[in-house]
Structures are given as structure tokens and as C-alpha cells.
Amino acid sequence: MKIYEFEIVPLSGFGTPLVGDTLFGHLCWQFCYYPELAGRTLEDLLSDYSRSPFTVISSACPRIDSGGSVLYAFPRPEMPLSLLFDKAYGDPIELIKKRKELKKRRWMLLDDKFLADGFHESLFVEDAKLFEHSTLKSTAGKYAVSFSQPRNKINRFTGTTGEGGFSPYSVEQEVYAPGAMLSVFAGIDTQKVSVEAVAEGLRRIGSTGYGRDASTGLGRFKVTGYHELDFGRPAGANACYTLSPSLPGEIDWRDIFFSPVIRYGRHGGGLAGSQNPFKAPVRMADNAAVYVTDGDIPELPYIGAAVADVSLAEPRSVVQGYSLYIPFRLEVTV
């Protein structure tokens, strides 16, 4: 399996964040409806998915062109602040005093060496600092902002809104600053599907819209390019920083630091309008989880497990419980 970076330019707001497992589901529908993209059917691609996934998609992260060099903004690892900032603030009392300030530093800013040098205090920045590293111009002073979009439904008998199903309501969406770029990473088994097929699938998703309210214009993006890359493998690496929601799999991890997320999945395609469009909920570790082992990390560029038996309407449905990861060495543990 090879890892590729896909460069993405948002063209609209997003009603659903660009998260790896949801993006994987959209890609599967592309291969389902257009088997010529991969040169084989989706059933063939998923035939051994529980043992060997044909692709693993990451969540999107801000991609910043800073003075000719590229920086990637990943969510701060879901670890206690004492493990992230202990070396900078060795005194526990001082760390507690600065806790509120440190919690605002929710981004981990990495260059193309990723975590080859491990964690250190200067990697973590807040929203304003992230924006300062870019050349973007926005009155909000942020790389992205979330806001509530007012909506209403018109009663065609009265010509007005009203009560019940016709009451005004609002929906949340996220909008990126003009000129912002994102990166999506994909691990691709090139013996099963080509990188060109995955790129074309992402292009089609971006042109028709991704996630909630795509029919109203949300979720549009453009794929501007892609290339192969390597997250590296530092000597003595014993930890994995995940790039999408995941499951622990069969590895006996020593420690797992994570924030839980429950995916209330919903079918896409023709099943979206069926009598039972919902999948069974799946509890996973969200983006930015850290898995720590006593020995060496896995040789494969991904960890986790596939999730099956999540739908009564379509028994063949699967959920991506795999995640790409950035390997590093964690010096301290609880």
C-alpha cells in the first residue's frame, strides 16, 4: 500500500466535516455506480476488506503554503496536557495555571518531516497563529468559521411559514477562508485500484457535493493535484497518531489516548430514500487518537479494523474502522 496526498480547494461551505470514514463511504458509492473507474466492481474491491482494505481515507486537514514550504495543521493529539507540555512547563503548578491558555492551542503544525522529532511544545498553536502562518485574507482572522444558516419551509396552502414542520430552523455549516487549501491522505493498494481512480472518484464527489445538504450547494470542492508521500518511521517509534476515526483492531496496545465518537451512519445512493436508511451506530476513537505499544508499531501504514453487520437494509455494508497514522516515539506515558 502506498500513501498519497490529495490537494483540495473548498468551493463552498460544508454541512458535514470532511472525515475519513464518511469520505470513504462516498468513494464506495462512486465505485458502485461507475465500476469502470476502478476496472472492477465494488463487490470485488470489498471482498477481502476485513483483511486487506483497497484504500484507507484520512480526514481533511488544513494545508498551508508558508513562504514556499508546506505546513499541515492536524488536530492536537487527544492526550493529557501534561504529556504534551510537561517538558516546557516542568512545574505541575505552572502547567495548571496555564491550562486554559494551552487548551486553546488545538492545532499541531507539522512540516514534511511530520513527527520525526517527536512532540515538543512549539508544535501546538491556536486558531489565530494558524491563520498567521498562511497568506489568507479573512475578516474573521481564522482558517475556517462555523455559523448557523437560517432555513424555513413554506406551507404552500398559506404561502407562509408556521408551526410544526413549517417552523423556521437553522443548520450548522463550516466555511473556509477564501484561498484555503486542504489535504486528504489516502493509503491505496495499487494492485486493486489505481490512484487515478481514487482521484477521479474524489473529483466527482467534489463536483456533486459531499455530506449533508449537498443538494443545496454545500460540500463542493476541487482536487487540484496529488502525489505520493511518506510519513516516515523514526527509530524506536512506539506510537501512532491517527488521521481518521478508527478502532483498535487486534493489536494489544499498551495505552490508547482518544476522544470517543459515535457514528450514526446513514446509507447513501438509492438506499438513502429507503424505508430503513440508517445503519447501526458504531463507537470509534475520533481523529487524533494516539495508540502506544510496548514493542514496534505495525509494518502496515494503517491500523484498525473493518466494521461489518451494520445494516439490515444492505448486509454487505461496511464502515471504515481503519486509519492511516503518523508514527513517532512517545517518551513518556501515564
Structural domain total, the chain: 1
* Domain-embedded: residue 108: yes
CB 76 within 8 A of CB 104: no
Q: What is the pLDDT of residues 33-59, one digit of tens each?
A: 999 999 999 899 988 898 999 999 999
Q: Mean pLDDT over residues 225-251, rounded?
A: 90
pLDDT value for 244: 94
243 pLDDT band, cuts 50/70/90, is: very high
Residue 333 in this model has a pLDDT that exceeds 60: no
pLDDT value for 88: 58
pLDDT value for 146: 82
290 pLDDT band, cuts 50/70/90, is: very high
pLDDT value for 27: 93
* Domain-embedded: residue 334: no
* Domain-embedded: residue 222: yes
Q: What is the pLDDT of residues 113-166, one digit of tens each?
A: 888 887 777 888 888 888 777 777 766 677 788 888 777 778 787 777 777 777
CB 75 within 8 A of CB 66: no
Average pLDDT along the chain: 86
Local structure of 294: helix, strand or coil:
coil
* Domain-embedded: residue 190: yes
Residue 200 in this model has a pLDDT that exceeds 90: yes
- Provide the percentage of residues in the chain whose pLDDT is more than 70: 95
* pTM reported for the whole predicted model: 0.89
Q: What CA–CA distance (Å, rounded) separates 265 from 83?
A: 33
* Domain-embedded: residue 183: yes
Range(s) of the domain holding residue 194 = 2-328
* Domain-embedded: residue 98: yes
pLDDT value for 152: 77
* Domain-embedded: residue 333: no
Burial of 261 from C-beta contacts in 10 A (0-12 / 13-18 / 19+) = middle
86 pLDDT band, cuts 50/70/90, is: low
Q: What CA–CA distance (Å, rounded) separates 329 from 334?
A: 15
pLDDT value for 90: 61
